[in-house]
Amino acid sequence: MGERTKHAPGAFSWTDLTTTDQEAGKQFYSDLFGWTAIDNPIGDDMVYSMMQIDGKDVAAISPQMQAQRDAGAPPSWNSYVTVESADATADRAQKLGANVMAPAFDVFDAGRMAVIQDPQGAFFEVWEPKRHIGASLVNVPGAMTWNELASTDLDASAEFYRELFGWQTEPIEGPMPYLVIKNPDGRMNGGIRPAMENEPSYWLVYFGADDIDDRLTTAGDLGGTALMGATDIGMGRIAVVQDPQGAVFAMFSGQFDD
């Protein structure tokens, strides 16, 4: 089982959903993945809902900020990368051509984070852990298992993240170019693919599934929409779903890493 007590710098360690209907989002994903919600007050009658499997944190769901709604930003799943220093990483990202959308700030005593938009336009977060390491369970059904960047410039993205996090990339054979990301410790850490026509650069979060066909049927019954049906990729099967509020996520069934 993919239990974690810490995450190496450069590793994807957390994901959370910002959505226009927090209660509906909690219900949808709880019914889909068997999550249990633990609501943590964060002020002004708001809660940050930690989603758990067997008491272990796997993700979170929070309300979308009004400024995001006013800007027309859709609900979205966010990808967090563990770093030793959120401040230093944000500074480094800016020097590499990224936009620092939110400079490093403390999240109570849980950790310190920054929000960054890479040079190709994809948003991601960096996480400097303190009390909260991120996910304590990964790579099992219902937990985060992969993070994939759709990029409008594959080579430029690979170079940016190599310079920022020390990631190495290896191409794999397939119907389209695909780069597998490896962290400095050698562990596979996600992938990068070319964005399709009219597709923006963005990070897509994958959750594990025991039976992807069954999960797709359940997602549809709960009001979700299959954007890509179950597809064989050799090492397993994947699917892409849009939840009832509009956030997009993917699922994977197959051989999970430890």
Domain ranges across the chain: 2-129, 142-254
So what's the pLDDT on residue 235? 85
Asked if pLDDT for residue 1 goes beyond 60, the answer is no
Tokens standing for 24? 């509906």
What residue type is assigned to position 133 of the chain? I
Describe the crossing of helices 154-165 and 86-95 by its angle, rounded to 10 degrees: 140
Secondary structure E strands in the chain: 2-3, 12-19, 36-43, 46-53, 56-63, 76-82, 99-107, 111-117, 123-129, 137-138, 144-151, 168-171, 179-182, 188-194, 202-208, 225-232, 236-242, 248-254
So what's the pLDDT on residue 64? 87
- Alpha-carbon gap, residue 196 to 201, rounded angstroms: 9
Do 2-129 and 142-254 have matching folds?
A: yes
Which percentage of the chain shows pLDDT scores above 70? 100
So what's the pLDDT on residue 43? 81
CA 98, 62, 136, 105 dihedral sign is positive
The pLDDT tens digits of the residues spanning 198-237 come to 999 999 999 999 999 999 999 999 999 999 999 998 889 9
- Alpha-carbon gap, residue 47 to 22, rounded angstroms: 9
Domain 2-129: top CATH class: alpha beta
CA 249, 253, 255, 257 dihedral sign is positive
Judge contact between 71 and 18, C-beta under 8 A. no
The pLDDT tens digits of the residues spanning 81-104 come to 999 999 999 999 999 999 999 999
Asked if pLDDT for residue 128 goes beyond 80, the answer is yes
The pLDDT tens digits of the residues spanning 177-187 come to 999 999 988 88
Question: Given the structure tokens 């009658």, which residue do they identify?
Answer: 45
Return the SS3 of 61: strand
Q: How high is the mean pLDDT of the chain?
A: 95
- Alpha-carbon gap, residue 158 to 107, rounded angstroms: 29
CA proximity to 44, closest of 62, 26, 29: 62
The pLDDT tens digits of the residues spanning 10-49 come to 999 999 999 999 999 999 999 999 999 999 998 888 999 9
Asked if pLDDT for residue 55 goes beyond 90, the answer is yes
CA proximity to 251, closest of 217, 220, 210, 198: 210
Judge contact between 181 and 170, C-beta under 8 A. no
DSSP assigned state of 197: T
So what's the pLDDT on residue 38? 97
So what's the pLDDT on residue 7? 96
Asked if pLDDT for residue 65 goes beyond 90, the answer is no
Tokens standing for 109? 């005593």
The pLDDT tens digits of the residues spanning 159-181 come to 999 999 999 999 998 778 999 99
We find that the CATH architecture of domain 142-254 is: Roll (3.10)
What residue type is assigned to position 171 of the chain? P
